[in-house]
Amino acid sequence: MQELERKLAEYLNVEYLLLVNNGTMALDIAYRALEVDGLVITTPFTFAATTSSICWQHNTPVFADISSESFTLDIASVDDKTLSLADAIVPVHVFGHPCQVDEIAAVAKKHNCKVIYDAAHAFATTINNRSVLAYGDAATLSFHATKLFHTVEGGAVVFKDKAVYEKAKLLVNFGLNSQQVPEFIGTNGKLSEVHAAMGLTNLTFIDALIKHRQQLKAAYYDRLNTYMSFQTWQANVTDNGAYMPVLLKNEAELLHVINVLAVEGIQARRYFYPSLSLVESFGQRGVTPIANDIASRIMCLPLYADLQLTDVKLISDMLINVIKQYRGRTTT
Ligand SMILES: *Cc1c(COP(=O)(O)O)cnc(C)c1O
């Protein structure tokens, strides 16, 4: 476990990295270590864990809208009153695309908010050659088996501040200090040695994996670009090739395509759906038309280690055929 922690900190080029037993625990520990309390501005275009962890820690999520280009939290969509009441901002580097980190930092400073990035998709991502994990008071990673780098189950928190990191180290180990006295109210958030061993093995071929996935993604882009639109990537950031999201014209078209592909044995996943600002249990606070629209017509195409370029061509051609037929039928 310590070896993986050291090697990951080195690989990702960050100082204070703490391994934990999953990505949701990483969020929980970040909020606890930073003492997040009250209103939290977050994005509805994410996996449920981003929001449920905020609620689980008895905080209140308020949903900002997202950029229609990067799909990340648009801090300009939040009014000053909400910002003045907020204790923290929890944006997500969606599909690995970094948030507007400088704008968010400026707003957070002005309104005295903590910033915790959910970086579950952003393993090895950089902005101007700097790790995306270096932004915010904390950034969290998930190492679930479905993620780019994985330990089967696992996660990590990267802290900016050494003192907060030292506190978090105790929090994941029942709050016990070196005298084995519970100095804080802690939990069991440790990554197991078996999971860490899996991570050490996976780390040996992560570079080759990222490269392969980037090639597959480029091939998808090449074939599909006249038929659908994609997340727009800034020039100064790296794409780790973790996901292949595509936007269709509307939800009806999306559902048709997913159903036809499923019959052919190809699984395209609605990810993320639904927009979490529409979910009753999360309180439905915030007006998010862009997120609701994107969530209704986005899907992720197959992208995994064993997929080959020939598969990408097959899937793309099939997808194009389905869309052509569908659009031929529905337009007059
Ligand atoms: C996977 C994921 C999580 C949760 O991580 P787990 O390791 O499954 O607990 C949180 N946020 C995002 C954006 C994710 O994709």
Three-state secondary structure string covering 7-47: HHHHHHCCCEEEEECCHHHHHHHHHHHCCCCCEEEECCCCC
Using one digit for the tens of pLDDT, what is the confidence trace for 40-89?
999 999 999 999 999 999 999 999 999 999 999 999 999 999 999 999 99
Give, as one character, the DSSP assignment of residue 166: H
242 C-alpha to ligand 1 centroid (Å): 13
Cβ(142) – ligand 1 distance below 6 Å: yes
49 C-alpha to ligand 1 centroid (Å): 6
Using one digit for the tens of pLDDT, what is the confidence trace for 187-206?
999 999 999 999 999 999 99
The pLDDT of residue 155 = 98
- Residue among 22, 24, 25, 116 to mutate when testing ligand 1 (max atoms within 8 A of CB): 24
Mean pLDDT of the chain: 97
Cβ(54) – ligand 1 distance below 6 Å: no
Largest CA distance in the chain: 76
Using one digit for the tens of pLDDT, what is the confidence trace for 137-191?
999 999 999 999 999 999 999 999 999 999 999 999 999 999 999 999 999 999 9
Report how far Cα 309 is from the mean position of its chain's Cα atoms: 26
Beta bridge pairs of residue 131: 126
Cβ(144) – ligand 1 distance below 6 Å: yes
Angle of CA points 262, 72, 234, to nearest 5°: 95
The pLDDT of residue 276 = 97
- 158/138 Cα distance (integer angstroms): 5
**Average confidence (pLDDT) over 260-287:** 96
Cβ(53) – ligand 1 distance below 6 Å: no
Closest residue by Cα to residue 149 from 297, 7, 315: 7
230 C-alpha to ligand 1 centroid (Å): 22
Atom of ligand 1 nearest to the CA of 146: 1
Q: Is the pLDDT of residue 332 over 90?
A: no
Using one digit for the tens of pLDDT, what is the confidence trace for 280-304?
999 999 999 999 999 999 999 999 9
Using 50, 70 and 90 to split pLDDT, how confident is the model at 229?
Answer: very high
The pLDDT of residue 329 = 86
Q: Which residues are catalytic?
A: 147
Atom of ligand 1 nearest to the CA of 27: 10
The beta strands (E) that lie in 101-260 are given as: 114-118, 126-127, 130-131, 138-142, 155-159, 245-247
Residue 196 CB partners (closer than 8 Å, separation 6+): 1, 3, 4, 19, 151, 154
Using 50, 70 and 90 to split pLDDT, how confident is the model at 331?
Answer: low
Cβ(50) – ligand 1 distance below 6 Å: yes
Cβ(120) – ligand 1 distance below 6 Å: yes
- 136/251 Cα distance (integer angstroms): 35
204 C-alpha to ligand 1 centroid (Å): 23
Cβ(155) – ligand 1 distance below 6 Å: yes
- Contact call for residues 144 and 114 (beta carbons, < 8 A): no
- Residue among 53, 56, 118 to mutate when testing ligand 1 (max atoms within 8 A of CB): 118
**Model-level pTM?**
0.97
- Amino acid identity of residue 239, one-letter, is D
Per-residue burial over 265-294, b = 16 or more CB atoms within 10 Å of its CB, e = otherwise: ebebebebbebbbbeeebeeebebebbbbb
7 C-alpha to ligand 1 centroid (Å): 22
Beta bridge pairs of residue 89: 41, 115
